[in-house]
Amino acid sequence: MREKRKRSPFTIIFIVFSLIMFFGLISTIISQDEFGGVSFQGKVGVIKIEGIIFDSEEYLRQLDEFAKNKSIKAIVLRINSPGGAVAPSQEIYREILRVRKKKKVVASMGTVAASGGYYIACAADEIYANPGTITGSIGVIMEVKNIQGLMSKIGVSAESIKSGALKDVGNPMREITDSERDYLQAVIMDIYEQFVEDVSKGRQLDKAKVYPIADGRILTGRKALEEKLIDKIGTIRDAIIRAGVLGGIDGEPSVVYAKKRLNFFGMVIEDAQSKIKNLFAEKGLSISYLMQLPSN
């Protein structure tokens, strides 16, 4: 009886590698949408922007990946955020403008898309909101804490040795001076003007039309439509269908949700988002595009 020849380890490795490459190629041609269905047509990519905006890196990566993915014909930003830090909001806004040169972007507002959340939405081609969505809150806030009275009761005092008069502005161990208040107000107004300018550009509204509603007030989705801060009242489904139309997709589009790539630190940050408001409050000085949240 003839003995079967044993395959060498190199042959087995080659076969396994070939199978991986084959199925990888198939997955790029035939992909599944989020419901598990097979899709042969172009898709709409959905990026969720949720919670207080503390960092932009993950959103920038997701936008870039969808921009480069040829199967993604349009992008929907699902925003549920009261805003957050200034620079990350501005970075996301700029990245959306860059992506729009390649693909259409539609913003869909959920429960709240205010301040920095609204700032981001303004970069999209179109904005959808529910009639009861809380949006607007165009403005900038800086909080300066003063715990001098509390510290004095327990016998704690502090003195700053500084190189310049403004080096310890916002020191929570003392009251700010009139000159410091004027200086900080000037900083706030500079950042505020940047907000108004980008809303004006994004919404194609004259700045004179933006200023009257850029006093920090919140608006419902229905009121925002009247003020031309959004384009249409509609759900996320409406926004996805519209994005499909703008992307040239026939019929109802398949949907792909962006996947997060979080390291351990990122997961800790995500799990602690509900506590970030307290982190802001603990600092003596902070500047943000953030809708003021009620205290617990």
Task: List the chain domain ranges.
Answer: 36-290
Query: Given the DSSP bridges, would you call strands 43-50 and 38-39 parallel, antiparallel or unpaired?
Result: unpaired
The dihedral through the CA atoms of 137, 241, 92, 124 has a sign that is negative
Beta strands in the chain (DSSP E): 31-32, 38-39, 43-50, 72-81, 83-85, 104-114, 126-129, 134-136, 141-144, 218-220, 232-233, 254-257, 285-290
pTM for the structure as a whole = 0.77
The answer on pLDDT for 238 being more than 50 is yes
115 catalytic per annotation: yes
Give residue 150's pLDDT.
76
Greater model confidence, 263 or 87: 87
- Say which of 102, 167, 228, 275 is annotated catalytic: 167
For domain 36-290, the CATH architecture is Alpha-Beta Complex (3.90)
pLDDT digits (tens, 9 = 90+) for 113-144: 999 999 999 999 999 999 999 999 999 988 87
Q: How far is CA 168 from CA 52, 133, 179, 270, in A?
A: 27, 40, 13, 31
Q: For residue 33, which of 252, 261, 235 has the smallest C-alpha distance?
A: 252
Q: Highest-confidence range of 26-35, 169-178, 278-287, by mean pLDDT?
A: 169-178
- Say which of 81, 89, 115, 254 is annotated catalytic: 115
Confidence grade of residue 105 (pLDDT, cut at 50, 70, 90)? very high
167 catalytic per annotation: yes
